[in-house]
Protein backbone atom coordinates (compact mmCIF):
# COMPACT_ATOMS: atom_id res chain seq x y z
CA UNK A 1 0.00 0.00 0.00
CA UNK A 2 1.03 3.58 -0.45
CA UNK A 3 -0.17 6.99 0.57
CA UNK A 4 -1.16 10.07 -1.37
CA UNK A 5 1.63 12.60 -0.88
CA UNK A 6 -0.69 15.52 -1.71
CA UNK A 7 -3.01 14.53 1.15
CA UNK A 8 -0.01 14.06 3.44
CA UNK A 9 1.17 17.58 2.63
CA UNK A 10 -2.26 18.98 3.47
CA UNK A 11 -2.15 17.15 6.82
CA UNK A 12 1.33 18.57 7.50
CA UNK A 13 -0.03 22.09 6.96
CA UNK A 14 -2.98 21.38 9.29
CA UNK A 15 -0.60 20.14 11.99
CA UNK A 16 1.94 22.97 11.60
CA UNK A 17 0.66 24.77 14.71
CA UNK A 18 1.40 21.77 16.94
CA UNK A 19 4.79 21.05 18.45
CA UNK A 20 6.27 17.60 18.80
CA UNK A 21 4.80 16.20 15.56
CA UNK A 22 6.72 13.38 13.94
CA UNK A 23 6.01 11.13 10.99
CA UNK A 24 6.43 7.41 10.60
CA UNK A 25 5.61 5.02 7.80
CA UNK A 26 3.23 2.44 9.25
CA UNK A 27 0.31 0.32 8.03
CA UNK A 28 1.61 0.84 4.48
CA UNK A 29 0.81 4.54 4.83
CA UNK A 30 2.06 7.58 6.71
CA UNK A 31 1.23 8.18 10.37
CA UNK A 32 1.55 11.51 12.17
CA UNK A 33 2.42 11.24 15.85
CA UNK A 34 1.83 13.98 18.38
CA UNK A 35 4.02 13.76 21.49
CA UNK A 36 4.73 10.13 20.58
CA UNK A 37 1.07 9.10 20.19
CA UNK A 38 -0.54 8.16 16.89
CA UNK A 39 -2.80 11.07 15.94
CA UNK A 40 -3.78 10.70 12.30
CA UNK A 41 -2.46 9.55 8.99
CA UNK A 42 -2.91 8.86 5.32
CA UNK A 43 -3.49 5.42 3.83
CA UNK A 44 -3.86 5.36 0.06
CA UNK A 45 -6.02 8.45 -0.54
CA UNK A 46 -7.92 8.27 2.75
CA UNK A 47 -7.43 10.08 6.01
CA UNK A 48 -7.47 8.15 9.25
CA UNK A 49 -7.94 9.70 12.66
CA UNK A 50 -7.58 8.82 16.31
CA UNK A 51 -10.57 10.41 18.01
CA UNK A 52 -11.16 8.21 21.04
CA UNK A 53 -14.32 6.15 21.51
CA UNK A 54 -16.71 9.10 21.95
CA UNK A 55 -15.18 11.20 19.19
CA UNK A 56 -15.18 8.26 16.79
CA UNK A 57 -18.82 7.52 17.56
CA UNK A 58 -19.70 11.13 16.73
CA UNK A 59 -17.53 11.11 13.60
CA UNK A 60 -19.22 7.97 12.28
CA UNK A 61 -22.48 9.93 12.09
CA UNK A 62 -20.86 12.15 9.44
CA UNK A 63 -20.86 11.33 5.72
CA UNK A 64 -17.81 9.66 4.15
CA UNK A 65 -16.62 8.04 7.40
CA UNK A 66 -16.29 4.42 8.45
CA UNK A 67 -14.59 2.53 11.26
CA UNK A 68 -10.88 1.95 10.80
CA UNK A 69 -10.62 -1.78 10.32
CA UNK A 70 -7.08 -2.17 9.03
CA UNK A 71 -6.64 -5.54 10.73
CA UNK A 72 -10.09 -6.84 9.77
CA UNK A 73 -11.45 -5.80 13.17
CA UNK A 74 -12.55 -2.24 13.94
CA UNK A 75 -9.94 -0.29 15.89
CA UNK A 76 -11.62 1.38 18.85
CA UNK A 77 -11.58 5.16 18.61
CA UNK A 78 -10.26 5.24 15.04
CA UNK A 79 -12.04 6.21 11.81
CA UNK A 80 -11.34 6.51 8.11
CA UNK A 81 -12.55 9.53 6.16
CA UNK A 82 -12.92 9.11 2.40
CA UNK A 83 -11.63 11.91 0.12
CA UNK A 84 -15.01 13.61 -0.39
CA UNK A 85 -15.15 14.11 3.40
CA UNK A 86 -12.04 16.30 3.40
CA UNK A 87 -12.01 17.75 -0.11
CA UNK A 88 -12.15 21.30 1.26
CA UNK A 89 -9.14 22.45 3.28
CA UNK A 90 -11.44 23.63 6.08
CA UNK A 91 -12.91 20.12 6.39
CA UNK A 92 -9.47 18.52 6.50
CA UNK A 93 -8.34 21.00 9.18
CA UNK A 94 -11.47 20.25 11.22
CA UNK A 95 -10.78 16.51 11.15
CA UNK A 96 -7.06 16.82 11.87
CA UNK A 97 -7.61 19.27 14.71
CA UNK A 98 -10.18 16.96 16.27
CA UNK A 99 -7.62 14.15 16.23
CA UNK A 100 -4.88 16.44 17.55
CA UNK A 101 -7.18 17.67 20.32
CA UNK A 102 -7.86 14.12 21.45
CA UNK A 103 -4.22 13.06 21.17
CA UNK A 104 -2.91 16.16 22.96
CA UNK A 105 -4.93 15.10 26.00
CA UNK A 106 -3.04 11.83 26.32
CA UNK A 107 -0.06 11.63 28.70
CA UNK A 108 3.27 12.30 27.00
CA UNK A 109 5.32 9.24 26.11
Is 94 among the domain residues? Answer: yes
Q: Which residues contact 25 (CB under 8 A, 6 or more apart)?
A: 31
CA 8 to chain centroid: 10
Is 33 among the domain residues? Answer: yes
Is 109 among the domain residues? Answer: no
Please count the structural domains in the chain: 1
Is 12 among the domain residues? Answer: yes
Is 73 among the domain residues? Answer: yes
Indicate which CATH number applies to the domain containing 71. 3.90.1150.30
Has residue 1 got a pLDDT over 60? no
Which residue did the predictor score with more confidence, 73 or 81? 81
**Domain containing 28: what range?**
5-104
Q: Which of 4, 3, 90, 102 lies closest to 49 in space, CA to CA?
A: 102
Is 75 among the domain residues? Answer: yes
Q: Whole-angstrom Cα distance, residue 61 to residue 5?
A: 28
Is 17 among the domain residues? Answer: yes
Is 77 among the domain residues? Answer: yes
Reported as a single tens digit per residue, the pLDDT across 7-57 is 999 999 999 999 899 999 988 899 999 999 999 999 999 999 999 999 999
Query: CA 22, 69, 87, 90 torsion: positive or negative?
Result: negative
pTM: 0.93
Amino acid sequence: MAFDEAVAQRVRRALARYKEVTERKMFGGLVFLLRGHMCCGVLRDELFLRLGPDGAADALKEPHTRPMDFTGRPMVGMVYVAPPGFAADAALRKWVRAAAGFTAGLPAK
